[in-house]
Each structure stands twice: as structure tokens, then as C-alpha cells.
Amino acid sequence: MADVVILPQSELVTLAAEYIGSLVHEKPELVLGVATGSTPLQLYQQLARSGADFSRASAFALDEYVGLPESHPESYTRVIDTQVTRQLGFQPERVHVPSGNHATLATAGPEFEAKIRAAGGIDVQILGIGTNGHVGFNEPGSSFASRTRVQVLAEQTRIDNSRFFDSLESVPRHCVTQGIGTILEARHLLLLAFGKQKAAAVRAALEGPVSSLVPASAIQLHPRVSVLLDEDAASELAMAEYYRYAWQNKFGGQVLG
């Protein structure tokens, strides 16, 4: 069972930042899986403030839109460059985002997977969750064996992400995303969710049947998962009281891992 931690958002961010900070201290060549979206932004800010040294670490992003120029403010290449590479002090050549360039789409997935393998695999993968239960951009129906590939974005995802664009029309219709099979190979999954709008997806992911209709439910198949939820995101969980009890009784509720 996943460790499920239910705390105010600021405490979750501190817990996750301390955990990742300790990992990179122990292993300077840490391979960190990074997510985009609004959920992990405070975590990156807190890690930056902590002074953790990522100069020898590598990072792999989950996904990228197809067809946005890399200079577009919403391209994940640009977001990762700003929020992760520069803010945390990674060497740019050790930060990898799948290519969403039309010209190289056929090879983008296998090339990205080869880079993850060459780095020795991902030590800890930060994940958000879509309101429709997606992880990365693996939309409902994605195979649990899927690898990094082109996906068609669900309409719900385009609507959710249109807040970052001028209009719904300007949200791309395609993406390249790590597959569920790729994500499940990371050695530790760290899923964060904040807010009421995530509560139904969180419940389906943690307590619903394991189903490709809820891609995030694949985390139930992983042996090492930590799920960090604020009260609102946890508000539909049937087992919330047990999760609190179990967390308090695991190392006094102080340590992720």
C-alpha cells in the first residue's frame, strides 16, 4: 500500500523538499523525474531555497506538447528550463524533456527512453494528477505497458490546461508523454495533489479498481509510492483515517521513503 500523507500543503511541500534534498545529498548523481503543471511549483521553489546541490544530478520530464516552439512560454521545455534547470542549478545537458517537434516525432519516444536507461533509471519520480486521473499525459484508456509516445490529449485535459493559454483553440491536441510502463519503472513515485478538484481522481487512483480508465490507478501496482495530499484532495477517501494512523505510526510520521 502507498504511504498516504494528509497534511496542509505547506507541510507537504516541506516534507517532499527535505526528502529530495536528503536524497541528492546522499547521491549527488540523483536521477529526478520532474512533473510540470502547477502542483509541484512550490516544491521546486522550496528546494531552491534549501540550497540543495543538483549540479551533478539529472532530470527527466514526463511530457511535452507537440508543435509548440520551445520558446513558447507554455512549452514544457521552457517551463522545465525555468522552474527546474535554472532555479535548482542543474547542468542543462543533464535535463531532458521529450521532443514535441513534428519533424522528429517518430523517434522522440525511443530516444527519450534510451536516455533514461543510459542515466541508470529514475530514482524518484514526482507526479501530479489530472482531474480525469491522468499521470504525465497518459489519458484514460492508456495501456499500463505503454512507453514514451505520442498521445492525443483528452478534451478535459485541454479544457483544464486552457487556463495557461489565450484560448481553448490554442491548446495543442497532441503530446509526447512517458508511458505508464515507463513511469512504473521509477524506483520511487511521489504523487502530489492539492485541492477539491483533485479529490475524485485521487480516490479513484488510490481506492478504485486498477483500471486503464484511471491511469493513475497504476500506482497501486508499484511497490514504493508516497502520495501527498492536502485535506481537500483527500476529502473523498474512504480510508483517510487509516492513512493518517498508518503514517503517524511509520517513523513517527516524519520521513518519506
Q: Where does this chain bind ligand GLP (CB under 6 A)?
A: 35-39, 62-63, 128-130, 136-137, 157, 161
Q: In residues, how long is the chain?
A: 257
Cβ at position 35, least distance to ligand GLP in Å: 5
Q: For residue 89, report the phi and psi dihedrals to the nearest 5 degrees.
A: 80, 30
Cβ at position 39, least distance to ligand GLP in Å: 3
Nearer to ligand GLP, 98 or 130 (CB): 130
Q: Grid coordinates representing 89? A: 542549478
Which residue's beta carbon is nearest to the bound ligand GLP? 128
Question: Residue 103 is inside which H or E element, if any?
Answer: none
Nearer to ligand GLP, 35 or 52 (CB): 35
Cβ at position 78, least distance to ligand GLP in Å: 14
Nearer to ligand GLP, 130 or 179 (CB): 130
From residue 159, how far is each of 34, 40, 162, 171, 245 by CA, in Å? Answer: 23, 20, 5, 8, 37
Nearer to ligand GLP, 132 or 212 (CB): 132
Give helix then strand counts, H and E, for the chain: 9, 10
Cβ at position 211, least distance to ligand GLP in Å: 19
Q: Do 245 and 6 touch, CB atoms closer than 8 A? A: no
Q: Grid coordinates representing 39? A: 502542483
